[in-house]
Structure 1
Amino acid sequence: MSRRAIVIGGGGVLGGTWAVGALSALEKELGITASDADLLVGTSAGSVLAALIACGVTTEELSQHYGEEKVTSGPLLGYEWNPVRATGGSRPGWPRILRPGSPKLFGSGLLKLGELPITAVLSGLLPPGAKSLERVGHLVDAVSPLGEWAQSPSGTHPDVWVVAMDYETGKRAVFGRAGAPIASLSEAVMASCAIPGWFSPIKIGARTYIDGGAVSATSVDVLSHEGFDEVYVIAPMSLTQSDHPKSLTAKLERQWRGVVSRTAANEIADVVAGGSRVFLASPTATDLTVMGTNLMDSTRRKIVLDTSLRTSPRTWSEQLVG
């Protein structure tokens, strides 16, 4: 039987919402159910999805949760969720302290440019985010054993790796992997979601962590030597094709997506070189138009999900890599 891994990248509220549509299409079109994977790897918004799936939440229940419907069954039944309150709105807010959040990361990063991604280095320059991820942690705690790792009602679930970044060194921390720092599932997810300059960094043990997307939006390459037969990559920050927007903000955002797409392609090449077949799903031009440039605008969740449910089936069939 094939060993499968599913990688779910970051992309804010709307990137996570788009990813739910991609997960649903993966199940309906290719017969690949996320909960049947051997491993889930989640970064930022993708870590929330990976955690929920590992704790027994189905793609149908995710679609209800992210599509602003009542969840009718499963671990999220009856759970009250307000995305605006959970993320603190669509703007980062004024920082409590106007100083670099991690001078050591920024200073040492400048001395070794090329070893660390520029996004990791610049995250040390931004002031510490002021908004709290407490409600995101509460969501994860509601479906997982308090203070522990993942456990689904059936007693079986995929392994889960959650990617964050050490706020001092700029190195990735892959929680859940052998040898990783010890953390509860909710702690790891909050760390992975701590967007620099937006959310407060998360302290786990003696170290402080922020969004793993500061290193890589997908972190596919953590699977380079893991020997999986198939890897399915859901990359909300990449793009299949541009929608050629007219506004300067949107043009810059699409250029950044191009950078993310090239990084993901390089990471995928490493995994393919190790013998894995890799399938990649990224937003289409239609998705990009609907998502806009503010991926934290939770008021657009339903239209983004509905669009992804329409576009993702074809995306999966066309995005075979390797």
Structure 2
Amino acid sequence: MTTIGLVLSAGGTSGAAHHAGVLAALEEATGWDARSADLLVGTSAGASTAATLRAGLSATDHAAYYNKTPLSAQGQAISDRVTTRLDLPENPPPPTNRRPANPALLVRGIFGRGRPRPVVSLTGVLHEGTVEGSALAARISESHPEPWPDAATWICAVNLKSGQRVV
């Protein structure tokens, strides 16, 4: 038996639009529906794409959304369930606090034991984000009125306190 996994990367709105275009083209060229993947893995924009694929939104409907063209009847029904507004600023406000989010990650990265993880180390010296994400979480929940599907879906992130990867 063949198992198919689909890994979706980050990239903000541009990354999500890229996922939509690639997956729609893949479906058009091969007939493969990304919603049928045995495993979806995503981070950031890829996490949103994975969640909406698991909600039943097709790759074609993802592409239609980013192209500002009509969704299919099924896609529109899924979209209509989502009522929370998502007002993400085009240019997020500058941070009010310029202190690093977790300088200990940098120190552990330089002087700690184990394999070096430079990206995690640098993450600790960045400031915390200024865009609140509860509206995005609400929208994902609204797209899934039923319990989460049984199909494997892994959403990846980094715990800012510990620097550990979490799924």
Instruction: Determine the C-alpha separation between the residues in 1 that align with 2:116 and 2:162.
Output: 9
Superposition pairs for residues 1-322 of structure 1, below 5 Å?
1-74=1-74, 75-77=78-80, 79=82, 85=87, 87-89=88-90, 91-112=91-112, 115-145=115-145, 150-151=148-149, 158-174=151-167
Instruction: Determine the C-alpha separation between the residues in 1 that align with 2:104 and 2:64.
Output: 43
**Pair 1:81–1:17, CA change in 2 (3 A):** farther
Amino acid at match of 1:57: L
TM superposition shift of 1:133: 1.7
- Matched residues, number: 164
Instruction: Determine the C-alpha separation between the residues in 1 that align with 2:112 and 2:73.
Output: 50
For structure 1, the residue ranges without an aligned partner over 5 or more in a row are 152-156, 175-322
TM superposition shift of 1:14: 0.3
Instruction: Determine the C-alpha separation between the residues in 2 that align with 1:61 and 1:77.
Output: 13
SS in 1 for 2:29: helix
Instruction: Determine the C-alpha separation between the residues in 1 that align with 2:14 and 2:113.
Output: 31
TM superposition shift of 1:137: 1.3
Residues 28-49 of structure 1: per-residue CA shift (max 9 Å, x gap):
1122211111110111100000
**Pair 1:116–1:133, CA change in 2 (3 A):** farther
SS in 2 for 1:76: helix
SS in 2 for 1:121: helix
Instruction: Determine the C-alpha separation between the residues in 1 that align with 2:81 and 2:72.
Output: 8
TM superposition shift of 1:73: 2.6
8 A Cα contact 2:7 2:41, kept in partner:
yes
TM superposition shift of 1:13: 1.0
8 A Cα contact 2:20 2:60, kept in partner:
no
Residues 263-282 of structure 1: per-residue CA shift (max 9 Å, x gap):
xxxxxxxxxxxxxxxxxxxx
SS in 1 for 2:73: coil
CA RMSD of aligned residues (A): 2.4
Amino acid at match of 1:21: G
TM superposition shift of 1:165: 0.5
TM superposition shift of 1:6: 0.7
TM superposition shift of 1:72: 4.0
Residues 167-202 of structure 1: per-residue CA shift (max 9 Å, x gap):
12222111xxxxxxxxxxxxxxxxxxxxxxxxxxxx
Structure 2 counterpart of 1:266: none
SS in 2 for 1:160: strand
TM superposition shift of 1:140: 0.5
**Pair 1:116–1:77, CA change in 2 (3 A):** farther
8 A Cα contact 2:4 2:37, kept in partner:
yes
